């Protein structure tokens, strides 16, 4: 059977990534060069440094993806690239590389929405998964509930009104003196803490929207007050209680949305999906309610190019190709219908 090889490229934030997929779901390679150690000393991603590092890394990462896949450049049938949302300078590196390769190889170029890519990571981890389903996408930049009707038809049901879940994790970790990115640090610390120790507030937001800024302020106030009074705080308890509050809000809304929209499959996506407690709790709640639960492997939760190639492949099936003058769109929203 003829192979359809998609080269995926992802440079929206602090990972330079390239992957080769055969068809929609077979990963031949998935190379990720992370810049986390570079940004760690600044406590967060420095956009200018990210762009420069992407420029240095992009071609070696693409070469490695081809080598690992055992594929020659001329065998690639199409190039899929993240064109938003993300940091503009970072996105432009991937977009420029993809445009150049697609032009030189005379193959179609596919423009992929990063958020849609996160959802599609689930198709790689769960080969039998098919839409329709409800997706909870939680990352450093987004917290959204999305109804996926079919492969190329999405509906945004709810989103955060202020901070993204990952952003709140990163901010709280930073104030507690934990290194960037804070999500995995809080996750680790929370395992030895008591989630019932501190009763942090859960925001009451209507419909299926989220809000994490009130919770973030409550945790910051708690930490500041303790510091002013010279009281010792138990960081593990703070981490566990904060994490519980985030997870409670995410799970409550997700389950309510699944009920309202009569969807019996729930998928988790985005960097915060790597949170062990979120995964465990959502899995438990789904099992109790007879909902099927899907979850990407850890490496496919955070930013990678296999998920971008996967999304690109399904766009190619409906000939959703990009023009050769494709530009990056840093604040790209979710395209609801293709």
Helices 213-228, 165-175: crossing angle, 10 deg rounding: 10
From Zn ion, ligand KG4, none, interface partner of 182 (C-beta below 5 to 8 A by class): ligand KG4
HSE (side-chain half, CA atoms, 13 Å) at 243: 32
Spacing of C-alpha 126 from chain mean position:
17
From ligand KG4, Zn ion, none, interface partner of 158 (C-beta below 5 to 8 A by class): none
Binding residue (CB under 5 A) for Zn ion from 303, 304, 316, 332: 303
Measured CA angle at 8 (ends 10, 42), to 5 deg: 15
187 scored as a contact of ligand KG4 (CB under 6 A): yes
- Gap between the Cα atoms of 291 and 222, Å rounded: 37
From Zn ion, ligand KG4, none, interface partner of 183 (C-beta below 5 to 8 A by class): ligand KG4
Binding mask 150-179 for ligand KG4 (x = CB under 6 A): ----------------x--xx---------
Binding residue (CB under 6 A) for ligand KG4 from 24, 117, 131, 140: 140
Spacing of C-alpha 236 from chain mean position:
25
- Gap between the Cα atoms of 92 and 51, Å rounded: 8
Write out 11-31 in H/E/C secondary structure: CCCCEEEEEEEECCCEEEEEE
Binding residue (CB under 6 A) for ligand KG4 from 302, 306, 311, 332: 302
300 scored as a contact of ligand KG4 (CB under 6 A): no
From ligand KG4, Zn ion, none, interface partner of 24 (C-beta below 5 to 8 A by class): none
Binding site for ligand KG4 (CB under 6 A): 13, 139-141, 166, 169-170, 181-184, 187, 270-272, 274-275, 302-303
Binding site for Zn ion (CB under 5 A): 139, 303
């Amino acid at each position: 059977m003829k192979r359809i090889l998609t080269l995926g490229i992802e440079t929206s934030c602090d990972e330079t990534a390239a992957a080769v997929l055969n068809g929609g779901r077979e990963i031949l390679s998935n190379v990720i060069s992370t810049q986390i150690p570079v940004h760690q000393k600044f406590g967060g991603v420095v956009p200018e440094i990210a762009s420069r590092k992407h420029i240095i890394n992009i071609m070696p990462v693409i070469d490695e993806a081809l080598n690992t896949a055992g594929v020659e450049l001329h065998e690639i049938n199409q190039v899929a690239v993240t064109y938003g949302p993300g940091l503009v300078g970072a996105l432009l590196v991937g977009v420029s590389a993809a445009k150049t390769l697609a032009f030189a190889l005379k193959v179609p170029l596919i423009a992929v929405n990063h958020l849609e890519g996160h959802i599609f990571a689930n198709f790689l981890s769960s080969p039998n998964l098919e839409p329709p389903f409800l997706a909870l996408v939680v990352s450093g930049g987004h917290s959204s509930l999305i109804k996926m009707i079919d492969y190329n038809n999405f509906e945004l049901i709810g989103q955060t009104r202020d901070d993204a879940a990952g952003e709140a994790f990163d901010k709280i970790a930073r104030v507690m003196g934990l290194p960037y990115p804070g999500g995995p640090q809080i996750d680790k610390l929370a395992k030895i803490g008591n989630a019932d120790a501190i009763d942090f507030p859960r925001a009451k937001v209507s419909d299926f929207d989220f809000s994490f800024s009130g919770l973030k302020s409550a945790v910051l106030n708690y930490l500041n007050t303790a510091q002013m009074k010279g009281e010792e705080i138990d960081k593990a308890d703070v981490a566990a209680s904060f994490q519980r509050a985030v997870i409670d809000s995410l799970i409550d809304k997700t389950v309510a949305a699944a009920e309202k929209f009569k969807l019996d499959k729930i998928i988790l996506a985005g960097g915060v999906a790597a949170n062990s407690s979120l995964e465990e709790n959502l899995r438990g709640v789904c099992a109790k309610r007879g909902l099927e639960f899907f979850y990407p492997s850890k490496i496919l939760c955070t930013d990678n190019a296999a998920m971008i190639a996967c999304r690109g492949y399904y766009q190619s099936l409906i000939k959703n190709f990009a023009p050769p003058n494709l530009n990056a769109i840093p604040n790209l929203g979710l395209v609801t219908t293709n």
